[in-house]
Amino acid sequence: MHVADEHDQTHVFGPLDAVPAWAAKKITNPKAWEGGKVPSSVEDPEAELARLEARIAELKAVQTSDGSGASKQDGPPPKGGAGSGAPAWQKYAAAHEVEVPADASREAIWAALDAAGVPTE
């Protein structure tokens, strides 16, 4: 089946293809659909938008996190004990846009953060 989009570009859909909602609205011949009606598998644009907005919010939360769920405003990871390893400090440095080598020690990361004026205490 051939369907033109809003830019007059033609898209071709076969019997096993997922048909987006915009195209399904343009397919008015009931013989085009098994059983004569649009299948429930056709994408709902409102549901898809809600899913994408939720995913964006999730990604933004991760982006502002130091990996422990704390935002960068909550301060640096501990210097000793649980959560004090180099990976936590690398994430903290990345959240503050301070580049450090992947194999940098905590001490090297602390020095880079101090040089960039990012709190380590």
Q: What is the pLDDT along the chain (121 residues), one digit of tens a residue?
A: 899 998 999 999 888 787 888 888 888 888 888 777 776 556 566 767 777 787 887 777 766 554 544 444 468 999 988 888 898 899 899 888 999 898 899 999 999 999 999 999 8
Two tokens, residue 100: 């450090």
The total of structural domains in the chain comes to: 2
pTM: 0.41
Report yes or no: 72 and 66 within 8 Å, Cβ to Cβ: yes
Is residue 80 domain-shared with residue 108, that is, in the same domain?
yes
Return the DSSP state at 2: E
Q: Which of 60, 77, 102 is the last residue of a domain?
A: 60
Is residue 49 domain-shared with residue 6, that is, in the same domain?
yes
Is residue 47 domain-shared with residue 93, that is, in the same domain?
no
Residues 6 or more apart from 59 whose CB is under 8 A from it? none
